[in-house]
Chains A and B, each alone.
Chain A
Amino acid sequence: MSSNTTRQEGDPADRPGVDGFLRVKDLRVHFPTDDGVVKSVDGLSFNLERGETLGIVGESGSGKSVTSLSIMGLHPPGTAKISGQVVLNGEDLIGASREHIRKLRGKNMAMIFQDPLSAMHPYYTVGHQIIEAYRVHNRVSKQVARKHAIDMLDRVGIPQPGARVDDYPHQFSGGMRQRAMIAMALSCDPELLIADEPTTALDVTVQAQILDLIRDLQQEFNSAVIIITHDLGVVAELADDILVMYAGRGIEYATAHEIFTAPQHPYTWGLLGSMPRLDRERTERLMPIKGTPPSLINVPSGCPFHPRCLYRELTGGASETERPELLEISPRHFLACHLSAQDRQRVWETDIKPNL
């Protein structure tokens, strides 16, 4: 399935030096609707190793969550047209049977959702839900599973786990619920953990705790982690690599260090400019990216970001007619932009960097 003969030079799915624990290649997820085909994800590629963290960043509707649901095989049958490759541990998931994917779910790949209150069943105890997750994939008695659930709650930092295991989700605080969700996701020791906006529904003081927890547990379990967020601050500390998505495609993909110190895409600049920074002198005000995310039915021609791009004139019209490919501009730094290297360098140094 995962034929390596069609490799192209500079494909982000074939980052050099790695064999790819999770390899997503040219993933397309299209939803046929009455109004037209919604191209939620349209040619996305990335690569992730065990023990590494990838941050996927983008606005609402950029295809982040759809990507994660596609990897997990959670789109209801018949709704989405999915093509491309998702290779987990050498096994293509797109062509696999639903039953096979189901067996991988929870065991090999697990997911943490945005709102832990609505993501947990209100009628079952927290313990029951963790036990359930564990027993789907492990043939153990209820007592053993219960002990495991208490252990997991203890590991994610729930006080008095032996007593709280019998509580219902509504008896937990928001932060504790998310901890319980994490305990549930990690109960089968998955190799891949996808966290879809894990801190969005939490208040700020709890956010940092949850992120710390995810990082600690990742080191302990040596799992690969994908963190999906619209908040660059969330991935700043956590991610090894960052993939910036726009209109269903990757537009910049590099190490976190590169993204924060030498970003190349005008959209990434915009994201950085709209992020509050505590470690810098406070400037006048945050700079939002003008305009709104594009329709995924009628994606703008050429570079999908061009209607909102402040530097589109510098491309000589190319951004309106030709879609830029995601190309490797320097080792481990991929970019989809028509701007010339000189222009990018100049704008970054003069317009952007001083204002961050």
Chain B
Amino acid sequence: MGLLFVVSVITFSIFFVVPRIAGGTPETLATRYVGRAATAETVHLTAQRLGFYDPMTVQYANWAKGIVVGAEYDYGAGVERCPAPCLGYSFITKQPVWPDLLDRAPVTASLAVGASILWLVAGVATGVLSALRRGTIFDRAAMGIALAGVSLPIFFTGLVSLAFFSYTLGWTAPGGQFIPFSENPAEWAYSMILPWITLAFLFSAQYARLTRAGMLETMHEDYIRTARAKGLRERNVVIQHGLRAALTPILTIFGLDVGLLLGGAVLTEKTFSLNGLGKYAVDGIVSQDMPKIMGVTLLAAFFIVIANLVVDLLYAVVDPRVRTQ
């Protein structure tokens, strides 16, 4: 929780304090809401209503309060209620940010969950086989592909696979479609399969390399020899004893990667025209729509903090030495 507080302070500072230090005034901020054509008086009034003249600490408190319990804005002709969590209003659309985020989150979550399962399975399996067949053609080929996977940017592999699988072969859905899972699971998977594979290719390459290195190390441990000395089948030695130990650091990174992706996979979403959080953030950046950017930033930070927490707890489950008595 402490971490979330720190993250919120930093996010707030980046968007409110830093611009002020850089020479911005409450009026320049208010202009963003009312437009350049507005009179100086309108700007002044808006800045006052939105509390831009208050001390920074008060502004932060109000902003944080809005997130926790909601906020009310008096716009002169009435009171606008912004329910919690209130992340402010878009400069451009004048709509509250939070409902937008809720709209986009399922797309990003679908992308992250599907891709992460794919890359975990594919990456770990490739890594284990590579480690066991170290130095063979399979190992070299797999590691070569992994190197390519790590190196190739998503907008390259994404566009190439779109061109090939969707437009030439017609096997997969073209970009820009998203059918919610609740509506039609099959259609949902069909619409997401290419983004999943493309994103998973990038990540599984990294996981294959990590798994391979981890397996090469653990398979030389004394307890592997003990497992063999017991007469265990080699398959069980590899999976239950070797992989079990090698998987621990991989799960840590996995948790963090998933947390990171839940906050928006910017390049993938942009490449496949998926209306997720990442694309929302990019749109916000392009139109300099600060509340949008802040909203996504805060949500992404929230996911990363939660992922960290989950990983810490998971670590205790996975490694008994971490558990306290």
Using a CB–CB cutoff of 8 Å, the interface residues on chain A facing chain B are: 72, 74, 102-107, 110-111, 113, 115, 118-125, 129, 132-133, 136-137, 168, 170, 181, 184-185
Q: How far is the CB of A184 from chain B (nearest CB, A)?
A: 7
Q: Are A119 and B222 in contact (CB under 8 A)?
A: yes
Q: How far is the CA of A118 from the CA of B220 in the complex (A)?
A: 11
B318 within 8 Å of A (CB atoms): yes
In the complex, which residues of chain B have a beta carbon less than 8 angstroms from the beta carbon of A170? Answer: 320-321
In the complex, which residues of chain A have a beta carbon less than 8 angstroms from the beta carbon of B232? Answer: 102, 106, 132, 136
Q: Are A122 and B320 in contact (CB under 8 A)?
A: yes
In the complex, which residues of chain B have a beta carbon less than 8 angstroms from the beta carbon of A122? Answer: 223, 245, 319-321
10 A-B pairs besides A113-B226, A123-B248 with CB distance below 8 A are A74-B229, A102-B232, A102-B233, A105-B231, A106-B230, A110-B229, A118-B221, A121-B241, A124-B244, A137-B231
Contacting residue for A111 out of B221, B229, B234, CB 8 A:
B229
Q: Are A121 and B228 in contact (CB under 8 A)?
A: no
- Asked if A184 meets B230 with Cβ closer than 8 Å, knowing A123-B244, A123-B245, A168-B321, the reply is yes
Q: How far is the CB of A243 from chain B (nearest CB, A)?
A: 22
Q: Are B226 and A103 in contact (CB under 8 A)?
A: no
Q: How far is the CB of A135 from chain B (nearest CB, A)?
A: 10
B65 within 8 Å of A (CB atoms): no
Q: Are B226 and A168 in contact (CB under 8 A)?
A: no
Q: Are A105 and B229 in contact (CB under 8 A)?
A: yes
Per the 8 Å Cβ criterion, residues 298-325 of B in contact with A are 318-321
Q: Are B223 and A107 in contact (CB under 8 A)?
A: no
In the complex, which residues of chain B have a beta carbon less than 8 angstroms from the beta carbon of A119? Answer: 222-223, 225-226
Q: How far is the CA of A217 from the CA of B242 in the complex (A)?
A: 31
Closest to A136 in B: B231
Q: How far is the CB of B190 from chain A (nearest CB, A)?
A: 39
B227 within 8 Å of A (CB atoms): yes
In the complex, which residues of chain A have a beta carbon less than 8 angstroms from the beta carbon of B222? Answer: 113, 115, 118-119
Instruction: Kindly name the residue among B223, B225, B231 whose own CB sees the greatest number of chain A CB atoms within 10 A.
Output: B231
Q: How far is the CB of A274 from chain B (nearest CB, A)?
A: 28
In the complex, which residues of chain A have a beta carbon less than 8 angstroms from the beta carbon of B226? Answer: 113, 119-121, 129, 181, 184
Q: How far is the CA of A70 from the CA of B244 in the complex (A)?
A: 27
Closest to A102 in B: B231
Contacting residue for B231 out of A103, A115, A125, A181, CB 8 A:
A103
Interface string of B216-259 (1 = CB under 8 A from A): 00000111011111111110000001001100100000000000
In the complex, which residues of chain B have a beta carbon less than 8 angstroms from the beta carbon of A113? Answer: 222, 225-226, 229
Q: How far is the CB of A99 from chain B (nearest CB, A)?
A: 9
Q: How far is the CA of A121 from the CA of B320 in the complex (A)?
A: 11
> Could you write out 17 A-B pairs with CB less than 8 Å apart?
A102-B228, A102-B231, A102-B234, A103-B231, A105-B230, A106-B230, A106-B231, A110-B229, A118-B222, A119-B226, A120-B226, A121-B245, A122-B245, A125-B320, A132-B230, A136-B232, A136-B233
Q: How far is the CA of A124 from the CA of B221 in the complex (A)?
A: 15
Instruction: Kindly name the residue among B226, B230, B241 whose own CB sees the greatest number of chain A CB atoms within 10 A.
Output: B230
Q: How far is the CA of A106 from the CA of B226 in the complex (A)?
A: 10
Q: How far is the CB of B220 from chain A (nearest CB, A)?
A: 10
Q: Are B228 and A105 in contact (CB under 8 A)?
A: yes
The 4 closest A-B pairs by CB, nearest first: A106-B231, A105-B231, A118-B222, A106-B230
Q: Are A121 and B227 in contact (CB under 8 A)?
A: yes
Q: How far is the CB of A15 from chain B (nearest CB, A)?
A: 27
In the complex, which residues of chain B have a beta carbon less than 8 angstroms from the beta carbon of A102? Answer: 228, 231-234
Q: Are B319 and A133 in contact (CB under 8 A)?
A: no
Q: How far is the CB of B188 from chain A (nearest CB, A)?
A: 37
In the complex, which residues of chain B have a beta carbon less than 8 angstroms from the beta carbon of A111? Answer: 229
Q: Are B227 and A123 in contact (CB under 8 A)?
A: no
In the complex, which residues of chain A have a beta carbon less than 8 angstroms from the beta carbon of B320? Answer: 122-123, 125, 168, 170
In the complex, which residues of chain B have a beta carbon less than 8 angstroms from the beta carbon of A136? Answer: 230-233
Q: How far is the CA of A136 from the CA of B321 in the complex (A)?
A: 26
Closest to B226 in A: A119
Q: How far is the CA of A240 from the CA of B231 in the complex (A)?
A: 28
Instruction: Kindly name the residue among B222, B226, B245, B321 whose own CB sees the greatest number of chain A CB atoms within 10 A.
Output: B226
Q: How far is the CA of A111 from the CA of B231 in the complex (A)?
A: 11
Closest to A111 in B: B229
Q: How far is the CA of A184 from the CA of B223 in the complex (A)?
A: 13
Instruction: Kindly name the residue among A106, A121, A136, A170 whose own CB sees the greatest number of chain B CB atoms within 10 A.
Output: A121
Q: How far is the CA of A118 from the CA of B226 in the complex (A)?
A: 9
Q: How far is the CB of B126 from chain A (nearest CB, A)?
A: 21
Q: How far is the CA of A102 from the CA of B221 in the complex (A)?
A: 19
Q: Are B225 and A74 in contact (CB under 8 A)?
A: yes
Q: Are A121 and B230 in contact (CB under 8 A)?
A: no
Q: How far is the CB of A30 from chain B (nearest CB, A)?
A: 20
In the complex, which residues of chain A have a beta carbon less than 8 angstroms from the beta carbon of B229? Answer: 72, 74, 105-106, 110-111, 113, 185
In the complex, which residues of chain B have a beta carbon less than 8 angstroms from the beta carbon of A129? Answer: 226
Q: How far is the CB of B20 from chain A (nearest CB, A)?
A: 52
In the complex, which residues of chain B have a beta carbon less than 8 angstroms from the beta carbon of A133? Answer: 230-231
